[in-house]
């Protein structure tokens, strides 16, 4: 018979898929002897059975729950449903992959109008009993019947106001008793039913609701943002309650074993006395720093520190721990690998290697390549910062620097971002409903909450700059204003800047400069270099891009797009002159100018390269990107060419193509006008000769774009070789160089054996190859690709991650090419070269290099190293 429910003692941390992350870790902690309240886990198998059974809990699952509940009664000496000595439990969702704050939990289940009194009598603590009851009614109402939380908050505020309390701890037993009545009335108002008094009914409804919460909109959005399989389902933990809300020897809190923002090795956390559950995260009172627990309860503090250290050693990673203290007795309620900023991730991983807990290889696998992006991003310019006025200071919850316009709710933030605005989301505090707005904003600023508030935790996970708990500002979400203590008021749409490292908020926008990367980053990247097999080059069209790429470890240029070198105003003039030339004489005049400019650029690139290979792609201008459109541009061109405006308009009109992406570009241009590539080849080799005479070694790779046939390549190559030969003879110098081709047309893949006879290297242009394989115009995909994604017709955007069909074409080309030219260099220069998932595929199918934009170079390097480390495991797995 299938088993659906597991005792904590039956589980372990390896069983996440079945027991969920929370359950597996509760089981693990219980089994290594930590003080975890007893309980059991309803597995994800039950979640799937629930869904398969038309959203009803199957009887066998119910029966198993009953058995485990009896066991829990024995273990705790309390009875579920008893009015004298009631067993209270929490019903806690826990998915296989952590989704903090996304799903639902209910505390104090088992209470009713009778049991609450029985509990009060038993414990002699009426206050905490009714406090637990009112919390239960609210959570049950919220999770099971979606009664808006603010209804309950309003009732709570009303009574506090009436009694002139500032803190919820001031509420007396009688106040709380009254509140449970108000809450029950709210419940009846909303559901039309009495609050269920039977604990089994409470339990069943709660379990169903948690299974349903897997599909709630914010969970769906979160899974989409984090690529989490929607079919995993969630597990549910049923756990005996412990009470942090029983006076000033009790409390609840959160501890990170290291600083999740910087990675510093010191326990970091917050707690609240006389509180329960999520009180710390919700920011209802300002929590205390964990270090002050040492003075409040020294022995509990010591025990907690020891447990933090033990858990870290046991899990070999930084942990994020939930604890509760009930009358000076410490309980651990959760542990998981803590979310952290990239800066912290790199520091923690390298530190763990030095501490002997993990190997260098494990450290490399610990960092999500895409995350590195955060580290490399610009910071505020120091000078500009000094001259800026600090508006307010809050908690530096997540590092980074951002400027943008303020918006006070997540929906406005989302719609503004869609209009192209850079948004800073400003809230009193955030909640899981804000998740999409947070993801799309540049940064987040909250007035309330601490370093472990929702805003702080989520922002760190997203690698987003965040300042939390900025008490120096007052936010009116209703009026959409932000006011400082000095009375300065800002409105929706005003610019501010946040420094997530210092916690300072500034008015207006501040200039950004390049990031400084840490020694830990360099150390990690050194390990990466030792492991990876793929060479990583940079796509660079300018000296500054090339320098950035080299700074990040690029081993040469994999793609220099010569047409991009002409995008600046002064230069595009001459490209346009070349395009509209009606005869060779006109064209040669324009080309002469272009040649001079190209030589200046190439000389600089070769100097920076200092012997590293530089792949220069000859001109491939899709015409529509270069033709003049505006009157002013047309007039200038007419003037340059000494022609009338009408004549120029006519020529331009004739040049307009129906399908420019399939039009007169790449090698086709060279077939019609051989003088263009001749000029470029001369510019390249003359620059190479000149830099070589400076004593710097050079290695140019001339790359011909958009080749479909071997004949085409032979035709174009012959011209180029002849020009190069002339230069060598004239200069009395011979330099090594290669001529190769882009492989970006499906036909070229299929006849790669023929083409390989004529080429010294292949560089797969996977952008065009994807476009042409799918027949998806890159410029128009925005109109339909989203529908494909929404309907699940494509797993990933094929322009971001290499598609299966395109991969097969590349593999075919590699095989065929190597047949006729066994030692040929082959690499990728499309956008995919910087996409970690694609890099792994390129490693596996045997390419030698990838090339990507400068800021993605470290990402590609890390992904390349991970590809090596993951490959043997894959083979092992497939052998099983």
Q: Which residues are catalytic?
A: 454, 829
CA 276 to chain centroid, in Å, comes to 31
Q: Is 270 in the site for ligand ADP (CB under 6 A)?
A: no
**According to the annotation, is 571 in a ligand binding site?**
no
Q: Is 334 in the site for Mg ion (CB under 5 A)?
A: yes
Q: How far apart are CA 466 and CA 443, in angstroms?
A: 6
- Torsion angle, alpha carbons of 649, 655, 658, 664, to 10: -160
**According to the annotation, is 617 in a ligand binding site?**
yes
Residue 844 Cβ vs ligand ADP, minimum distance, rounded to whole Å: 37
Cβ distance to ligand ADP smaller for residue 240 or 669: 240
Number of helical H runs and strand E runs in the chain? 35, 31
Q: Do the strands 495-499 and 504-507 form a parallel or antiparallel pair, or are they unpaired? A: antiparallel
DSSP strands (E only) in 104-159:
105-109
Q: How far apart are CA 240 and CA 37, in angstroms?
A: 6
Q: Which two tokens stand for residue 702?
A: 């001339």
Cβ distance to ligand ADP smaller for residue 277 or 666: 277
Residue 222 Cβ vs ligand ADP, minimum distance, rounded to whole Å: 12
Residue 239 touches which member of Mg ion, ligand ADP, none, C-beta under 5-8 Å by kind: ligand ADP
Cβ distance to ligand ADP smaller for residue 89 or 498: 89
Residue 841 Cβ vs ligand ADP, minimum distance, rounded to whole Å: 35
577 touches 652 (CB < 8 A): no
Interface with ligand ADP (CB under 6 A), residue from 20, 199, 251, 277: 277
Q: How many CB atoms lie within 10 A of CB 313?
A: 12
Residue 307 Cβ vs ligand ADP, minimum distance, rounded to whole Å: 14
Q: Is 105 in the site for ligand ADP (CB under 6 A)?
A: yes
Residue 259 touches which member of ligand ADP, Mg ion, none, C-beta under 5-8 Å by kind: none
Positions 25 through 64 that interact with ligand ADP (CB under 6 A): 37
Cβ distance to ligand ADP smaller for residue 319 or 497: 319
Cβ distance to Mg ion smaller for residue 236 or 689: 236
* Interface with Mg ion: number of residues (CB under 5 A): 1
Cβ distance to Mg ion smaller for residue 94 or 437: 94
Interface with ligand ADP (CB under 6 A), residue from 13, 92, 464, 861: 92
Q: Do the strands 89-94 and 235-240 form a parallel or antiparallel pair, or are they unpaired? A: antiparallel
The Cα-based distances of 560 to 52, 407, 433, 460, 686 in angstroms read 55, 40, 44, 36, 17
**According to the annotation, is 561 in a ligand binding site?**
yes
Positions 196 through 255 that interact with ligand ADP (CB under 6 A): 239-242
Q: Is 336 in the site for ligand ADP (CB under 6 A)?
A: no
Q: Is 430 in the site for Mg ion (CB under 5 A)?
A: no
**According to the annotation, is 586 in a ligand binding site?**
no
From the list 61-69, 101-109, 670-678, 736-744, the region that binds ligand ADP by CB under 6 A is 101-109
Residue 867 Cβ vs ligand ADP, minimum distance, rounded to whole Å: 34
- Torsion angle, alpha carbons of 572, 575, 576, 581, to 10: 160
Q: Is 250 in the site for Mg ion (CB under 5 A)?
A: no
Q: How many CB atoms lie within 10 A of CB 765?
A: 28
From the list 220-228, 239-247, 292-300, 332-340, the region that binds Mg ion by CB under 5 A is 332-340
Cβ distance to ligand ADP smaller for residue 92 or 218: 92
Residue 524 Cβ vs Mg ion, minimum distance, rounded to whole Å: 30
Residue 324 Cβ vs ligand ADP, minimum distance, rounded to whole Å: 5
548 touches 376 (CB < 8 A): no
Q: Is 334 in the site for ligand ADP (CB under 6 A)?
A: yes
Q: Is 107 in the site for ligand ADP (CB under 6 A)?
A: yes
Residue 564 Cβ vs Mg ion, minimum distance, rounded to whole Å: 48
**According to the annotation, is 258 in a ligand binding site?**
no
The HSE-up count of residue 718 (CA atoms within 13 Å, CB side) is 7
Length reported for the chain: 880
Residue 491 Cβ vs ligand ADP, minimum distance, rounded to whole Å: 34
Q: Which two tokens stand for residue 565?
A: 């070198």
3-state DSSP: the chain helix, strand, coil percent, rounded to 5?
Answer: 50, 15, 30
Residue 163 Cβ vs ligand ADP, minimum distance, rounded to whole Å: 27
**According to the annotation, is 753 in a ligand binding site?**
no
Helix (H, G, I), strand (E, B) or coil at 54: coil
The Cα-based distances of 280 to 71, 337, 767 in angstroms read 32, 19, 48
Residue 23 Cβ vs Mg ion, minimum distance, rounded to whole Å: 12
Q: Which two tokens stand for residue 687?
A: 């620059």
Interface with ligand ADP (CB under 6 A), residue from 76, 90, 351, 598: 90
For 804, residues 6+ apart whose C-beta sits below 8 A from its C-beta are none
Q: How far apart are CA 530 and CA 364, in angstroms?
A: 11
862 touches 364 (CB < 8 A): yes
Interface with ligand ADP (CB under 6 A), residue from 278, 429, 523, 545: 278
682 touches 723 (CB < 8 A): yes
Q: How far apart are CA 566 and CA 591, in angstroms?
A: 12
Q: How far apart are CA 827 and CA 825, in angstroms?
A: 7
For 480-518, letters b (16+ CB in 10 Å) and e give bbbbbeeeeebebeebbbbbbbbbbbbbebbebeebebb
705 touches 744 (CB < 8 A): yes
Q: How far apart are CA 641 and CA 625, in angstroms?
A: 20
**According to the annotation, is 768 in a ligand binding site?**
yes
| DSSP, residue by residue, 121-135 | HHHT-HHHHHHHHHH
Cβ distance to ligand ADP smaller for residue 86 or 277: 277
* Interface with ligand ADP: number of residues (CB under 6 A): 16
Residue 277 touches which member of Mg ion, ligand ADP, none, C-beta under 5-8 Å by kind: ligand ADP
H helix runs in 247-370, sequence order: 279-282, 293-296, 298-315, 342-354, 360-366
Q: How far apart are CA 379 and CA 510, in angstroms?
A: 10
Helix (H, G, I), strand (E, B) or coil at 765: coil
For the window 300-329, what string marks contact with ligand ADP as x by the rule CB under 6 A?
Answer: ----------------------x-x-----
Q: Which two tokens stand for residue 317?
A: 């990673």
Q: Do the strands 5-7 and 825-828 form a parallel or antiparallel pair, or are they unpaired? A: unpaired
From the list 100-108, 575-583, 652-660, 788-796, the region that binds ligand ADP by CB under 6 A is 100-108
- Mark the binding-site residues for Mg(2+), compressed into ranges: 744, 768
- Mark the binding-site residues for substrate, compressed into ranges: 561, 617, 744, 765-768
The residues that touch Mg ion, with contacts defined as CB under 5 A, are: 334
- Mark the binding-site residues, compressed into ranges: 561, 617, 744, 765-768
The residues that touch ligand ADP, with contacts defined as CB under 6 A, are: 37, 90, 92, 101, 105, 107, 239-242, 277-278, 322, 324, 333-334
């Amino acid at each position: 018979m299938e088993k659906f429910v597991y005792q904590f003692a039956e589980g372990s941390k390896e069983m996440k898929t079945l027991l969920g992350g929370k359950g597996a870790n509760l089981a693990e902690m219980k089994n290594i002897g930590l003080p975890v309240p007893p309980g059991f886990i309803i597995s994800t198998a039950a979640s799937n059975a629930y869904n398969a059974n038309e959203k009803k809990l199957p009887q066998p699952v119910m029966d198993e729950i009953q058995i485990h509940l009896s066991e829990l009664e024995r273990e705790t000496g309390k009875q579920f449903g008893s009015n004298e000595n009631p067993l209270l439990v929490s019903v806690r969702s826990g998915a296989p992959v952590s989704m903090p704050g996304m799903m639902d939990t209910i505390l104090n289940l088992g209470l009713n109008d009778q049991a609450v009194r029985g509990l009060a009598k038993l414990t002699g603590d009426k206050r905490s009993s009714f406090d637990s009851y009112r919390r239960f009614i609210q959570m049950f109402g919220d999770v099971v019947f979606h009664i808006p939380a603010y209804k309950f908050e309003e009732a709570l505020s009303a009574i506090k106001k009436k009694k002139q309390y500032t803190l919820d701890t001031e509420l007396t037993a009688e106040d709380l008793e009254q509140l449970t009545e108000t809450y029950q009335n709210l419940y009846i108002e909303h559901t039309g039913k009495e609050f269920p008094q039977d604990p089994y009914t409470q339990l069943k409804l709660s379990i169903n609701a948690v299974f349903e919460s897997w599909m709630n909109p914010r969970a769906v959005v979160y899974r989409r943002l984090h690529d989490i399989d929607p079919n995993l389902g969630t597990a549910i933990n049923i756990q005996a309650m412990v009470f942090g809300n029983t006076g000033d020897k009790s409390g609840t809190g959160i501890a990170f074993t290291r600083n999740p923002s910087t990675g510093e090795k010191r326990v970091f956390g917050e707690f609240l006395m006389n509180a329960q559950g999520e009180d710390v995260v919700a920011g209802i009172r300002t929590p205390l720093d964990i270090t002050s627990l040492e003075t409040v309860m020294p022995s509990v503090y010591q025990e907690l520190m020891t447990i933090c250290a033990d858990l870290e050693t046991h899990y070999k990673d930084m942990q994020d721990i939930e604890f509760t203290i009930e009358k000076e007795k410490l309980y651990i309620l959760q542990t998981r690998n803590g979310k952290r900023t990239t800066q912290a991730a790199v520091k923690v991983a390298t530190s763990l290697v030095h501490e002997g807990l993990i190997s260098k290889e494990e450290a490399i696998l610990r960092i999500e390549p895409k995350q590195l992006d955060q580290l490399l991003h610009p910071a505020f310019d120091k000078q500009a910062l000094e001259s800026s006025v600090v508006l307010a200071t809050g908690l530096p919850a997540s590092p980074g620097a951002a400027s943008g316009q303020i918006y006070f709710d997540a929906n406005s933030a989302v719609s503004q971002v869609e209009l192209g605005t850079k948004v800073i989301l400003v809230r009193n505090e955030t909640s899981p409903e804000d998740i999409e707005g947070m993801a799309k904003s540049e940064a987040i600023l909250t007035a309330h909450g601490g370093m472990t508030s929702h805003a702080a935790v989520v922002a760190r996970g997203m690698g987003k700059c965040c300042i939390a708990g900025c008490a120096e500002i007052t936010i009116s979400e209703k009026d959409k204003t932000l006011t400082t203590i000095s009375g300065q008021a800002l409105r929706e749409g005003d610019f501010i800047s946040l420094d997530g490292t210092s916690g300072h908020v500034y008015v207006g926008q501040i200039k950004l400069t390049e990031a400084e990367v840490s020694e830990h980053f360099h150390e990690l990247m050194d390990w990466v270099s030792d492991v990876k097999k793929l060479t990583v080059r940079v796509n660079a069209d300018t000296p500054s891009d090339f320098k950035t790429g080299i700074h990040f470890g690029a081993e040469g240029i994999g793609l220099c797009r010569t047409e991009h070198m002409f995008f600046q105003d002064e230069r595009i003039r001459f490209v346009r002159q070349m395009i509209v030339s009606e005869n060779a004489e006109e064209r040669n005049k324009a080309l002469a100018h272009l040649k001079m400019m190209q030589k200046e650029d190439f000389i600089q690139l070769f100097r920076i390269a200092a012997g590293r290979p530089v792949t220069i792609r000859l001109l491939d201008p899709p015409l529509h990107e270069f033709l003049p459109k505006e009157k002013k541009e047309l007039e200038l061109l007419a003037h340059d060419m000494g022609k009338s405006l009408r004549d120029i308009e006519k020529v331009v009109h004739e040049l307009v193509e129906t399908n420019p992406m399939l039009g007169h570009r790449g090698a086709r241009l060279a077939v019609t006008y051989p003088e263009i590539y001749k000029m470029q080849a001369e510019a390249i080799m003359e620059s190479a000769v000149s830099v070589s005479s400076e004593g710097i070694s050079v290695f140019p790779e001339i790359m011909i774009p958009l080749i479909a046939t071997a004949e085409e390549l032979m035709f174009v190559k012959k011209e180029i070789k002849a020009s190069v030969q002339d230069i060598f003879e004239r200069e009395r110098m011979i330099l090594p160089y290669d001529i190769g081709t882009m492989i970006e047309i499906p036909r070229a893949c299929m006849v790669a054996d023929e083409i390989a006879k004529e080429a010294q290297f292949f560089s797969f242009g996977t952008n065009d190859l994807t476009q042409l394989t799918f027949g998806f115009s890159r410029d128009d995909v925005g109109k339909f690709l989203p529908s494909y994604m929404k309907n699940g017709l494509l797993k990933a955007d094929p322009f971001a991650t290499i598609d299966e069909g395109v991969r097969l074409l590349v593999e075919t080309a590699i095989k065929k090419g190597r047949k006729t030219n066994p030692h040929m260099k082959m690499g990728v220069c499309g956008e995919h070269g910087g996409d970690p998932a694609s890099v792994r595929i390129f490693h596996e199918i045997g390419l030698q290099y990838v090339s990507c934009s400068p800021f993605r170079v470290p990402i590609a390097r890390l992904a390349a190293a991970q590809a090596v480390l993951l490959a043997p495991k894959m083979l092992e797995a497939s052998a099983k």
